[in-house]
Chains A and B, each alone.
Chain A
Amino acid sequence: MWGAGLINGLRITMRNMLRGPITVMYPYEKLELPERSRWAVRSKYFEDGDPRCTACMACVRSCPDHILDLEVTTAEDKSKHIDRFSYEVGACMMCGLCVETCPFDAIEMSHDYELAVTDAPLLSEDLLADVDAASAKRHRELKAAAQAAAEAAAPSSAPVADDAAPTEKGGDDA
């Protein structure tokens, strides 16, 4: 019968209305982001508060839009001091290539998405400023200690969880 589709359409909208709204009233209610969500880049630190970054410049080279920049002063004993690790968060496209490339797990894609500012200069941040860079030696010692602890605790190696994948690429020759 001509018109059956019209009546059926009304029935469908009424049924959907009775299912209830699906609105999440931001900012009063916020959804939790999945673990792999990529938002603003942030520095990571050791337990005692020192930054993990060794100023190796791998992330700076890998960024497609050249928005990361490191200003480093190298002392006579080859130790590096980071004057400024600048990050143009306003231009960042959150692709995550920098975090994938970092060999020292010194930066992460945080879940910080409320990045709107009212002042244009604030779109350029400093991830680190005026700190000593960590040394590769410290990272090696930490890794060796962690490996020894793992072997002592469980002789049979535990399977790697699926989520551990993002920071390990099958085949990096740094």
Chain B
Amino acid sequence: MSDVLRVILPVLAAVGLMLTNGVVLIYMLRKVLGHLHLRLGPMHVGWHGVLQTVADVGKLLTKEDITPNNVDKALFFLAPAAVFVPSLMAYAAIPFSETWRITSLDTGLLYTFAVLSLVPIGVLMAGWSSANKWALLGGMRAAAQQIAYEVPLLLSVLPIVMLSGSLDLVEIVSAQGGYWLGFVPRWFVLHPLGFIASLIFLVAGLAELNQTPFDMSEAESELVAGFASEYSAMKFGLLFLSEFSNSFIISALGITLFFGGWTLPWIPADWVAHIGPIIFMLKTYIGIAVFMWIRGTYPRVRIDQLMSLGWKRLIPISLSLIMVTGIAMKVVESVRGVS
């Protein structure tokens, strides 16, 4: 019996985390964007607006679910699920601390990317099934973009895999323990090759998330709501919940791969052993805040520029980065072997 519980409870915790994340992140987005733009964001519902998202969720749950006449009914109904479920599955391999994770996977990194690559299918389904030219344009743009940027996303992470020697996210974090020169933490973002990899990861990650500067598919000033234009009530809620949940996943991956996961530098590990998950969540939220900062500042990249950036620039750079990392590792190894 307890075996069954041991499997189900983490899954329920993941669902709970995903839903709470959505609620908190929407509020955080509105507040961060508001303050970046010299205004206040929500202020009236609860103290400084903390209950705003709760009210919004209540509104979405009670709204009328409108299905236009000409939609492809099966696809229209399934698309939100096809976008939501992969996002939920991606939580499985994220390590919140050494012992806190849904399940331990030797190939955690590969699993996460594989699952995230199912999202464009749902987006395309949503855009196609809405009988709306604007939604179709938005869906096709989103699918092309997300499929194109999965390649540099994965390729940029391969140097990290090579440097740490494993696809297991917990082992990647342990490979970032220790210090160079005694005080600089061995985080991969501070490693010269890792730094370049982190920049590519940032760009490709933003493109995967459909965030500005790569939010062509939801370009508010052109397509109103892009692929989600015809959705109302909870279907719309699911689509946007999964978008926020994806940004949590990408940020969490970035923290794990480049910023040392749940560890803090210069503080002995046993002091923070019990609050590892809290540190992890904090770092992830700082990462998401950086995404929001970028969102509030930059204009949008045009669709053809976006595609050319992805295929013609990021992929060659990440491929050469893999090559350089391999060569550097071999050189360092042989130098060490000689001396």
Contact = CB atoms under 8 A, between A and B. Distances in A.
- Are any A and B Cβ atoms less than 8 Å apart in their complex? yes
Contacts of B335: none
A20 B39 CA distance: 8
B38 A14 contact: no
Interface stretch (A5-13, A94-102, A103-111): A5-13
B297 A13 contact: yes
B30 to A, nearest CB: 13
B43 interface: yes
B40 A13 contact: no
A9 B297 contact: yes
Contacts of B43: 25
Nearest to B34: A21
A100 B293 CA distance: 51
In terms of DSSP, what is the predominant structure of the interface of chain B?
A: loop
B298 A21 contact: no
B77 to A, nearest CB: 40
Contact of B298 (A9, A17, A20, A23): A9
Contacts of B35: 17, 21
B38 A16 contact: yes
A10 B40 contact: no
In terms of DSSP, what is the predominant structure of the interface of chain A?
A: helix
Interface residues of A, number: 14
B14 interface: no
Contacts of A22: 38-39
Contacts of A14: 36, 293
B294 interface: yes
Given A9-B297, A10-B293, A10-B294, A17 B40 contact: no
A98 to B, nearest CB: 37
A21 B39 contact: yes
Interface string A50-93: 00000000000000000000000000000000000000000000
Interface of B: 34-36, 38-40, 43, 293-294, 296-298
Interface of A: 6, 9-10, 12-14, 16-17, 19-23, 25
9 contacts: A10-B293, A10-B297, A16-B38, A17-B35, A20-B38, A21-B34, A21-B35, A25-B40, A25-B43
Given A9-B297, A9-B298, A21-B35, 14 more contacts: A10-B293, A10-B297, A13-B296, A13-B297, A16-B36, A17-B35, A17-B38, A21-B38, A21-B40, A22-B38, A22-B39, A23-B38, A23-B39, A23-B40
